[in-house]
């Protein structure tokens, strides 16, 4: 039997892992995915699946290390960067999440979800001018997204742009997609900040 290459071995182990998952054999699936990545660290589907399995079992540190290694091998993976940033938020490290998103931004400048997540991280760290810029870019790509309009309104308000914040909050209400608590907050804010006659 001829020798199989490392990349073929990785594909075989990955496919075996998928079969184990279908059978509910998670321990064997984890072992197969780890073997797949040992054979070929560039096997992206194996890395993503293993990271998601770590996350499902709340093994945040293992998932974080796995995704960070993946981005070191290839930074042009915005979905990996977003997943890593979510884990870093889960671990209470907003600054690391922001750094992760910034590092892959050049590969995601046309992805509204990515830009809005980046804006949210800037907002959480009190960097409202940057948050405003990226919320606006996200909304150019996907206009009328209620939660992002809400986020834009919050940063506009924090940056003392009350009129623009009012417009953004009003548009968020029109767009919908908000939780009842968020909707109630906006309505109260708009009542308190109605324009002077």
Taking the chain (197 residues) in runs of 10, the rounded mean pLDDT of each run is 78 95 94 94 93 92 94 92 94 95 94 97 97 97 95 96 95 93 93 75
What is the distance between the alpha carbons of residues 85 and 117, in angstroms, rounded to a whole number?
9
CATH of the domain at 132: 1.25.40.10
- Whether 78 is covered by a domain: the verdict is no
Compute CA distances 168 → 36, 44, 77, 129, whole Å.
Answer: 48, 39, 31, 15
The verdict on 116 and 194 lying in the same domain is yes
Per the domain annotation, does 64 fall within a domain?
Answer: no
pLDDT confidence of residue 59: 92
CA–CA separation, 144 and 155 (whole Å): 17
CB atoms within 10 A of CB 114: 24
Helix residue spans in the chain (DSSP H): 6-22, 26-39, 44-56, 60-73, 78-90, 94-103, 112-124, 128-141, 146-158, 162-175, 180-192
We report the CATH number of the domain holding residue 3 as 1.20.58
Q: Rounded to two decimals, what is the model's pTM?
A: 0.87
As to burial, measured by CB atoms within 10 angstroms (0-12 exposed, 13-18 middle, 19+ buried), residue 1 is: exposed
pLDDT of residue 6: 87
Range of the domain at 161: 109-197
Looking at residue 197, its pLDDT comes to 44
Residue carrying structure tokens 């182990």: 13
Beta-carbon contacts of residue 92 (< 8 Å; ≥ 6 apart)? none
In the chain, the number of structural domains is 2
pLDDT of 4 = 77
Residue 183 lies in a domain: yes
């Amino acid at each position: 039997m001829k020798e199989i290459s490392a990349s073929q071995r990785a594909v075989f182990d990955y496919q075996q892992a998928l079969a184990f998952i279908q059978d509910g054999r998670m321990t064997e699936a984890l072992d197969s995915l780890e073997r797949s990545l040992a054979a070929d660290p560039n096997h992206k589907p194996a890395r993503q699946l293993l990271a998601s399995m770590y996350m499902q079992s709340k093994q945040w540190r293992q998932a974080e290390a796995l995704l960070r290694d993946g981005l070191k091998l290839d930074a042009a993976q915005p979905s990996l960067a977003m997943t890593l940033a979510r884990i870093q938020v889960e671990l209470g490290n907003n600054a690391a999440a922001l750094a992760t998103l910034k590092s892959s931004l050049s590969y995601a400048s046309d992805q509204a979800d990515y830009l809005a997540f980046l804006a949210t991280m800037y907002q959480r760290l009190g960097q409202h001018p940057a948050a405003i810029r990226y919320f606006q870019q996200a909304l150019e790509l996907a206009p009328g997204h209620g939660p992002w309009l809400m986020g834009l309104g919050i940063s506009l308000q924090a940056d003392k742009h009350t009129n623009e914040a009012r417009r953004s909050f009003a548009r968020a209400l029109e767009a919908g997609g908000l939780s009842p608590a968020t909707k109630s907050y906006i309505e109260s804010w708009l009542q308190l900040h109605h324009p002077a006659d």
